[in-house]
Structure 1
Amino acid sequence: MAHTVHNPIAVQPSHDSSQPGSTSGGRRHRGGSFALVLALLSPLAAFAQEDTRTPSTQAASAPVPPADPALTQLLAEALETRPELRQAEAQVRAALQRVPQAGALPDPVLQLGIQNDGFNGLMIGEMEGSYFSIMASQALPFPGKRELRTEVAQLGAKATSAQVARTRLSIEAEVRRGYLDLLLVRERLVLLDRLQALWKQSADMARIRYETGEGAQSDLLRAQLELNRLRQRQLALRAEENTRVRTLNRLSGRPLEAPLPTTTRVRDLGVPELGDTEAATRDALERSPELAEQRALVAQAGQQVALARRERLPDFTVSAGVMPRGGDFPPMWQANVGVNLPIFSGSKQKRVVAESSAQAEATAHAAEALEQVLRLRVQERLIALAALRDTAAIYREGLLMQSAATAESTLTQYRVGRASFASVLEANTGIIRDEEDYLRTLADAQRLAIAQAEVSLEPVASMGGTAQSAGSMPGTGGTPSAPARGASPAGGSPGAAPASSSSMSGM
């Protein structure tokens, strides 16, 4: 969405009647040409002034922007419609159904039989040793085994429930990254439109100077060439914008072709604050679904060790039955109690205890390693965010103003014949290029904040020594092109942010 910036300062060209080799008619043509160049520069200078306020009027870290209604609606729709979240919730319900199963008694056994004397006929009621039998038996685990099995299943369900939190965080991060990418593409389109307008006016000026004999034909050809290149870049950005819109619509359960208007700009987001290291680390350790899952697995492993020790104790089996004999013979009955004999404990039950102990130790070490990684990722993001904050300050407090000053100085040099027309246009184009890099810096900072909110385990990509590389510092995660996630339910990594589209080279 285009944002018009008005220049409050009207720049007027100066006329030097003493300039050598000039005539009155030449001064009129030259004065008109210079006025056009200055008119072309003025909107770019005003555009640069938009983010070049002094530190006293703009803080190094912008305050938290107001909630974006479009983004809020997308997040609500995504959490309501995403099948990945419903899938995770169904898996938790399935895990909870395993809890009562784990503590249930084994099914009883019912036996029906007959005992007969001889093979010459049915002797029930005639022979004392002939009868029908109805037997029932029930296995009874050693006391304490059922409780431990229930606790193991409960802790397993608790570990599974962490996947719901991970899925929710990953969906939110995925939507936020997609929305940020859409804002960035649309703001780049605004920059491209400004550059295209500049080249159109420049082509008109170059034609006037060429027709009056003041300029070279190469200036006109250069302007026409850049216009065609800009049309190519504009088509690519429009295609990328459509792709971003459809991606967001898919994430929120909307029709893919539904329009998605936005009012927020990347420059409005500023550089977020993640707090100090201690607070950010504590927040990550408390909210990390992976760490919560791992801690539940550690507790489960401890209970599995206790259960393995209890499994060495024998189980019991009780049975009872009646045997009607018919005739004048009274019925018989019997009751039995059986017990397992762990005579192979050395190669079975004891090995299970050793295995469970080793698994518990491995799970504990895995939780420790995961906590270390979380602490590292938080500090990586804080370090990267500090660098981006300083980079954004350089853009606001110096670089953008210097770009405008360079363009103005080059224009002055061109006026006295010490610079070429191409140099003027190249200097003016530098304002757009620096502004785009500034937007990328702000977007990278927002990706870091998204990764922190997602509690992403993805590492922060190296800045590479410059903030001008597209996607040089993804938040990291998702998705990716992060998505933590903690892998994202949609296949991305948490906190991995997709690399930004290629920069408008030549701008």
Structure 2
Amino acid sequence: MPPRSNPLACALVAVVLAAASGAPAVRAQTAAPANAPVLTLADALDLAGSASPNIDAADAGVRAASAARRVAGLRPNPSLNADIENVGGSRAYNDIEAPKQTVSVGVPVELGGKRSARIALADAQGNRAQIERVAAGADLRLAVTQAYVEAVAADRRLATARDQAAIAAEAVRAAHVRVQAGRASPLEEQRAEVLRISADAAVDRTVRLADLARVNLGRRIGRPVTGALDQPWFDRVDGYGPAPLDADSSLTVATARADEKAAEAQLRLARSQRLPDVTLSAGVRRLPINNDMAAVFGVSVPLPFFNSGASSVAQAGAERDRATALRRAAELENEQAIGQAQADVANAAAAARTAAGPSLAAAQEAARIARIGYREGKFGQLDLLEAERTLAETRSSAIDALAAFHDAQAQLDRLTASARKD
């Protein structure tokens, strides 16, 4: 015979239905106003680009490299020489009219292609600075994306924790009604009270973590994050993976190759410096005897007796060999890292689809059945609480899986970022 309805059962049903319907109300309280603009990931990246000190440092490095290129193309400055001969001597040379005055200009002449070697080295270093600028942008994109993912996930966790706290509070009231009516043991009310206290403590912890996540994101973008975040973007899993990319254009390989080219240019400069430069001079000399003028020409050549430049060439050659070996290692490690990252993204996507799809749907259906069964007197309170707890844990697992997917995707995007981008 089906159980008869009574006022106690009606009150209990009302309490349970309030617990089941309390989650949307809690989420509405945590959501931003309807007219508040949503801060998307693209917006966060745009804001972060203008507020990042790392980008400013990379831009300064590019300007410094450009200035170094102009310096490398300059020729040596000439020198002005003034000589007075035959001053303060004896006999005839003691006369103030005896000294000879000579004024000449010396012009260094670089040999061995030193200027072109300096320019080649400056160009290689400038290319390295440009790659560092692109790498700084890619690093910033990764950091902002990770901060954004954590902020969205923290908001989701907070909503789940508040839902669970609301359900626990309603369960305490339901247990109290049953105990007062003599239909349940006081232990049931105490058990529900313990769960409520734990749920409230979880809300407090989650609030602090959510606030911290928003503060961290705000530091990255240069302004407080008070509005809503892009929740639909967080739920999207399809279409993962980067576009096909030439391995030569990846930042890791491009950086290693730029270092190798700079080392080769440094070796060329070291070789060119083995040939001494010549200084040519020309001037005029006044002869005090008859006040005549005479032309003076000269040449100066350093003698490389002690430092022939061989050691500098050997050092530059070793540095070039080291850069070549590091470039080969970077190519191998980059391919391995990209392959691992692609596998991580695929695994994370599969886990996110399962956790946010079939698993979550099954938990929601189980909770719905438990509520109906509790309303009809077929299930006890523990069955209902277990179903609600499982649903909350499944929601948390889904959030973690989605966050892991977006983090893995961001890591892959960083590894495959092209050095040819602006």
1:147-226 mapped onto 2 (5 Å cutoff): 147-226=116-195
1:66-465 mapped onto 2 (5 Å cutoff): 70-116=40-86, 118-119=89-90, 123-125=95-97, 127=98, 130-254=99-223, 256=224, 259-265=226-232, 267-275=234-242, 280=244, 282=245, 285-288=248-251, 290-326=252-288, 328-344=290-306, 348-396=308-356, 398-407=358-367, 421-455=381-415
Q: Which has the higher helix share?
A: 2
Q: Distance in 2 between matches of 1:214 and 1:135?
A: 117
Q: Distance in 2 between matches of 1:114 and 1:267?
A: 84
Write the letter of the residue equivalent to 2:407.
R
Cα distance per residue 1:4-29 (max 9 Å; x no partner): xxxxxxxxxxx814xxxxxx5xx526
Does the CA contact (< 8 Å) of 2:276 and 2:301 recur in 1?
A: yes
Q: Secondary structure at the match of 1:353?
A: helix
| 1:152 Cα deviation from its structure 2 partner | 0.6
Write the letter of the residue equivalent to 2:344.
A
Where structure 1 has 5 or more consecutive residues not aligned to the other structure, the ranges are: 1-14, 18-23, 47-67, 458-485, 487-507
Q: Secondary structure at the match of 1:386?
A: helix
Write the letter of the residue equivalent to 1:39.
L
Cα distance per residue 1:354-392 (max 9 Å; x no partner): 222221111011112122222122111211122222223
Q: What is the root-mean-square deviation of aligned Cα atoms in Å?
A: 3.2
Distance 1:285 1:147, change over 3 A: closer
Does the CA contact (< 8 Å) of 2:85 and 2:100 recur in 1?
A: yes
TM-score normalised to structure 2 length: 0.84
Report which stretch shifted further, 72-81 or 259-268.
259-268
Distance 1:283 1:196, change over 3 A: farther
TM-score normalised to structure 1 length: 0.71
Q: Secondary structure at the match of 1:331?
A: strand
Cα distance per residue 1:431-471 (max 9 Å; x no partner): 111111111111111111112222289xxxxxxxxxxxxxx
| 1:76 Cα deviation from its structure 2 partner | 1.6
Higher relative contact order (CA 8 A, sep 6+): 2
Cα distance per residue 1:158-215 (max 9 Å; x no partner): 1122221111122222222212111111111111121122112211211111112211
Distance 1:266 1:236, change over 3 A: farther
Does the CA contact (< 8 Å) of 2:73 and 2:119 recur in 1?
A: yes
Does the CA contact (< 8 Å) of 2:69 and 2:119 recur in 1?
A: yes
Equivalent pairs counted in the alignment come to 404
Q: Distance in 1 between matches of 2:164 and 2:119?
A: 68
| 1:295 Cα deviation from its structure 2 partner | 1.3
Write the letter of the residue equivalent to 2:316.
S
Q: Distance in 1 between matches of 2:203 and 2:23?
A: 23
Where structure 2 has 5 or more consecutive residues not aligned to the other structure, the ranges are: 25-37
Write the letter of the residue equivalent to 1:399.
S
Write the letter of the residue equivalent to 2:108.
A
| 1:327 Cα deviation from its structure 2 partner | 5.2
| 1:42 Cα deviation from its structure 2 partner | 5.5
Does the CA contact (< 8 Å) of 1:271 and 1:445 recur in 2?
A: no
